[in-house]
Chain A
């Protein structure tokens, strides 16, 4: 019945008992909806989501040959999956679904003004129908995950992770660059708070790892090449003169950190002034005979502070003063955490250890036989005898961290540690999938924390690999090859390092997006100067159609406001406001986006040209973006666009970016009302 390519949309307006039908005149909505272009059927459903409702929708699809379904009812955040399943989400010819939120974002919040609510609902439905007509089927990309894990680094974190993965039943390759396993812990005299010997502690673990049949240990070797994509990493390891190649599904990075030799000028000489690791080794060899020891907790010229180093220094001060009653031990500190060395500071004090707090701007001066320091607590200069001075500095990243990070496409921070993006939202999980980092590779941690992180990384890796196959959640962005001009702007803009440039014959390169690494933030779509990148279901034509539908009718003369909201912040907050029944101004038409990175200045300008009186953009708070940095891009774009609008003689107050918390409905309502008031004050733009 439907000819090829013809759009036949079925619109189902839900009553949701009295939730929607009690506020909106659903029959009138159905009536007006049925006149929209492309709509083959508009119908009222009491409960579209009930078994009977879903069956009705299914029958209507067959009967009327529908290839688009628009459900106007509740929020897609809870019900989209339900409807998708009912439409047959696995079938190739299943109709495409678009949901229009007239419950949480309309009926529930405009109970006191049914007329305005009806106008808004109709606009929202119009937007949904316009978008549905332009939807294209999405294909998820499926990847087979290789059931093997590579652990890089044979220190405490790596050993823990390797053993834990092997016990989980998967083959593990453990790559260590030294000839022996054990890492830094093997060089420690004692561990706090148990007082065990570092070597004994680690040897038990090394033996367990070496004895495990599932673990293959490659010592004296380095990872030299990583290719492939998540789920199937092809690894090349150089062991002596030999190159070993294998394939793994997940990689655990546990390269740890190291103690750097202090720079000249710090007083370090390796004999009287030594580092904390040298002190550990001296203690191990029983070579400490100095009477006056000063331990200086020092960031090494900048404001770093490591709780692990501090706790180790406190432990060493107890050991030193406990071994010899006559010995004078001082700990010079700027910050001292009582958290890791719980109770140990007290114990150190009882042993007569002197704690001196110094000012960061006046660091201790090491002279030929003393340490001069300004005691901040007593407000006086102190001169301590120093037969032995220990510089306890935080661990620093290894020099091979940067090349490895490049191989694995992991980001590094300013100091060179591997960064964990979005630590708050997904601790322990890295954005490039199947890569997990543990131990001091991200920041200096102590043995306990390394063990914990080793288990955590192993758990994540096991879970990831044993899923066997995975489908990327977000439909990825795709490059239209004929339009790509090879400028490489998208490569820089991708927060996930998913884009690379390929060679192309006779012309500039061609951008290629890894469908597995791509998370669908849409940043590349916005930055592409040739508009060569498309991303479903937020393509330019779809968004423009929605904007035009939202601004198409203006019978009431009220200000027309467009809300472009990221689904994790503004959209979620709007839903919550609906669930809590908080009402707000009804002028706004909300358009849902995957991430604020998709805020396209062109789209905003188009909205103003089409008669919008104000555009409110809603993004996650700084540091909370689900796509790492989408909100920062959005902020920069809005700033520039406001400048541009100002120069063009257009009031920049009509464009605003708000940070929304998804669990703060009250804040949302306040922000929307305030913006609406401002726009009412500014009046209409009279552009369209």
Chain B
């Protein structure tokens, strides 16, 4: 057992725990998005940052991955932490303005309108779906591809993954509800995970019919049956 101080409270903790685990055990709430108990911590969303006292002054660390150390002094809700979290949430809100969980976080932290707009995609790249697929399901059907602004979750080579077993663990675990089963299952000839297909309108009746990209798949499944 080791002991550390969180928000002025002296706390006993098991060695090898992270700061987040210790805080939660003792009812100290730290907001998270990319953390899940059943998965290895990832340190991706930076929402769980806490202030750690070091000999060179205070420092921000991600509590989901930072180990609880003997004698550590941690503040989970200081000015510095709040400023960092507000910025994180503001950026998330700028990138995913319609995600309910982000809106709630923003409201709680007093973030109103984000100062910039970074598109509108419910996926916040927390990687929960990718990790759940690999660690819980063992299918490894999806992964994070590309870097920077073009980073996204995708099956290998962006062709519908045949490793996917359709268990919908990713759908369940996604904090923003950005995934639907259809996105994961679609096969090579139809879906490329993020692409959008424009259904063509019939010139005579005006009704929309199958997009040309889907024709191959529809035919395949008809011929295959």
Contact = CB atoms under 8 A, between A and B. Distances in A.
Interface of A: 17, 46-47, 49-53, 55, 75, 77-79, 81-82, 304-307, 337-340, 394, 413, 417, 419-420, 423-429, 442-444, 452, 456, 460, 568, 572, 575-576, 579-580, 624, 626, 661-663
A589 B48 CA distance: 36
A376 B162 CA distance: 41
Contact of A47 (B13, B25, B29, B220): B25
A626 B180 CA distance: 17
A50 B169 CA distance: 21
Contacts of B160: 427
Of A75, A79, A423, A444, most B-chain CB atoms within 10 Å: A423
B171 interface: yes
Given A17-B27, A51-B21, A460-B162, 14 more contacts: A46-B24, A46-B25, A47-B25, A51-B17, A52-B13, A52-B17, A305-B222, A423-B221, A424-B166, A425-B165, A426-B164, A572-B172, A576-B168, A626-B166
Interface in B144-182: 160, 162, 164-169, 171-173, 177, 179-182
Given A78-B36, A78-B172, A662-B181, A444 B25 contact: no
B38 interface: yes
Contacts of A443: 220, 223-224
A426 B165 contact: yes
A78 B166 contact: no
Given A443-B224, A661-B181, A337 B27 contact: no
B16 interface: yes
Contacts of A339: 212, 215-216, 219
Interface of B: 13-14, 16-17, 21, 24-25, 27, 29, 36-38, 132, 136, 160, 162, 164-169, 171-173, 177, 179-182, 185, 187-188, 212, 215-216, 219-225
Of A82, A304, A394, most B-chain CB atoms within 10 Å: A82
A306 B17 contact: no
A663 B25 CA distance: 32
Contacts of A337: 215-216, 219
Contact of B181 (A49, A340, A444, A663): A663
A663 B171 CA distance: 6
Given A425-B166, A663-B180, A47 B171 contact: no
Contacts of B13: 52
- Say what secondary structure dominates the interface of chain A: loop
A78 B171 contact: no
B25 to A, nearest CB: 5
B27 A46 contact: yes
Nearest to A15: B27
A429 B162 CA distance: 8
A418 B220 CA distance: 14
A444 B29 CA distance: 59
A81 B224 contact: no
Contact of B224 (A49, A428, A442, A624): A442
A17 B169 contact: no
Contacts of A75: 172
A307 B36 CA distance: 47
A507 to B, nearest CB: 41
Nearest to B20: A50
A470 to B, nearest CB: 12
A82 B160 CA distance: 29
B37 to A, nearest CB: 4
Of A75, A394, A576, most B-chain CB atoms within 10 Å: A576
A49 B223 contact: no
21 contacts: A17-B29, A46-B25, A47-B24, A50-B21, A51-B14, A78-B38, A78-B132, A78-B172, A306-B223, A338-B212, A338-B215, A394-B223, A413-B224, A417-B224, A420-B224, A424-B221, A425-B164, A425-B185, A575-B172, A576-B168, A663-B168
Given A52-B14, A339-B215, A304 B167 contact: no
Given A46-B27, A337-B219, A339-B212, A568 B166 contact: yes
Contacts of B14: 51-52, 55
B28 to A, nearest CB: 10
A52 B25 contact: yes
A456 B215 CA distance: 21
Contacts of A576: 168, 171-172
Given A305-B223, A307-B219, A443-B223, A50 B181 contact: no
Contacts of A456: 162
B132 A626 contact: no
Contacts of B136: 77-78, 81
A663 B165 CA distance: 14
Contacts of A662: 166-168, 171, 181
Pairs A-B, 4 closest by C-beta atoms: A662-B168, A49-B37, A663-B181, A443-B223
Given A46-B25, A49-B38, A81-B38, A304 B223 contact: yes
Contacts of A52: 13-14, 17, 21, 25
Contacts of A17: 24, 27, 29
A185 to B, nearest CB: 20
Contacts of B168: 568, 572, 576, 662-663
Nearest to A473: B138
Given A52-B25, A337-B219, A661-B181, A579 B172 contact: yes
Contacts of B38: 49, 78-79, 81-82
A337 B173 CA distance: 40
Nearest to A307: B219
Nearest to A463: B163
Contacts of A580: 177
Nearest to A81: B136
B185 A78 contact: no
A337 B212 CA distance: 10
A424 B165 CA distance: 9
Contacts of A423: 187, 221, 224
A661 B17 CA distance: 38
B16 to A, nearest CB: 6
A423 B216 CA distance: 14
Contacts of B166: 424-426, 568, 624, 626, 662
Contacts of B212: 338-339
A233 B13 CA distance: 54
A425 B38 CA distance: 25
B165 to A, nearest CB: 7
Contact of B37 (A82, A452, A568): A82
B136 to A, nearest CB: 6
Contact of A444 (B171, B188, B223): B223
A627 to B, nearest CB: 12
Contacts of B216: 307, 337, 339-340
A626 B37 contact: no
Contacts of B36: 78
B37 A47 contact: yes
A427 B188 CA distance: 9
B17 A50 contact: yes
B37 A50 contact: yes
Contacts of B220: 443
Given A47-B24, A50-B37, A626 B215 contact: no
Nearest to B222: A305
Nearest to A46: B25
A46 B212 CA distance: 54
A523 B201 CA distance: 45
A337 B132 CA distance: 40
Contacts of A340: 216
B66 to A, nearest CB: 14
A442 B179 CA distance: 31
Contacts of A305: 219, 222-223
Contacts of B179: 663
A52 B220 CA distance: 53
